[in-house]
Structure 1
Amino acid sequence: MSYYDLDSILTDGQKVPTTIELEVPGLGYLDNAPGRPLKAGTKVDLPLWLSQMLAVSAYSTKHIADLEPPSCLAPRVMNALKADPKSVDIRALSSHFYEFAVRILELLDEVLVYQDACAVLMETWRRRAAEISDHASNAGQNRGGGGMGSTDGVEFLRGLDDSERYLFRAAHDGTKAMRSWMGEMTKK
């Protein structure tokens, strides 16, 4: 991860539910109370970069804030991904779903949740990558019958997060280049 990586910057800007553990003077505007302190126990949605800084920072022996798992990693979503990863619109959950999930899971302390979520995310990636590869290799062919020119193809692309879109482009470009090369080879 680079300091100038746009995907990392966008991932860091996504909101995370955060519980403030200590009263913080002057931050009441985060809870629609300008000019007042942000009281301990207040739950606010903060960008990941800020939540992370507050969660790892400590004042005396207590952390300033505590991160909670975001809705994109809720048990309901994990169960849906276990059941059928291809049917979940992960872009609606987060445009950088996998990167965001990895960052959040690194920050959470619950080891069992971490291991289970990692297994679900790996299986999700594996099963969705096969589907992406299939769509990418058939894109642009048989326009009326399920190719990328059809409504199903457009809907499929809408549900992909940014890393999956990158995979789709790479697989599609590779397939196109292979077909072009094979066409040139048959001419010789």
Structure 2
Amino acid sequence: MSYYDIDSILTDAQKLPCTFELEVPRLGVLEGNAGESVKAGTRIDLPLWLGEMLSIGARLGTSRLVTLDLPTALSERVMNALKADPRTVDLRSLAPHFYSLSERILELFEEEEMVDVLIDTFKKRAAEIADQAHNPRGAMGEGVEFLRGLDETERQLFRVAHDSAKEMRIWSGEAKKRS
């Protein structure tokens, strides 16, 4: 992750549900109540970077200020849908930087099953992306809905696969002319 990487910045801005473990005076601005206290047990969606910093006390051995929860994009419902058929899930609507968010969340939570599901998801979707990139007619027909649901990592993969297929056609056309 680079300090100036816009994708990393947007991933860190993704909202994460957090539950406050302690009462915090005058932090009610996070709920829209300026000057009020945030009560213990209050659940607020905070940017990933802030939630991570507020939960760091648990790692240092002190009482933590907040407990992090899994975001909706990585909920059990979404994991079940990805297990069933990852190509039908609109990852972009869940989180524009779905895989980057997943990577950051997996640094915070130990979820072995989630790792397996996400790896399998990426493999299956990458095969479909490559097929769509090499077959432009498919991308204009029934593949349009699938392509709309690609997250940023998959969009970059699609661009690379599409450009390489195009360059390969150009190269093979030039090779035929020479022989």
Q: TM-score w.r.t. structure 1 length? A: 0.90
Deviations 1:60-85 (A, max 9, x none): 82001110001111111101100100
Aligned to 1:116: 113
Displacement over 3 Å in runs of 4+? 57-60
Equivalent residue, structure 2, for 1:132: 129
**Cα-to-partner distance string for 1:14-70 (whole Å, 9 max, x where unaligned):** 100000111112111212322111111110000001001101136982001110001
Structure 2 CA distance for aligned equivalents of residues 50 and 179 of structure 1: 48
> In structure 2, the residue corresponding to 1:69 is in which secondary structure?
coil
Does 1:162 find its partner at 2:152? yes
Aligned counterparts of 1:48 and 1:67: Cα–Cα separation in 2: 9
TM-score, scaled relative to structure 2: 0.94
Task: Show the counterpart of 1:28.
Answer: 28
Q: Is 1:173 aligned to 2:174, yes or no?
A: no
SS at match of 1:63: coil
Deviation string 1:121-141 (CA, Å, 9 cap, x unpaired) is 0000000000000000012xx
Could you list the runs of 5+ residues in structure 1 that have no partner in the other structure? none
Q: Percent identity?
A: 56
Q: In 2, distance between residues paired with 1:88 and 1:105?
A: 20
- Name stretches of at least 5 consecutive residues in structure 2 with no aligned partner: none
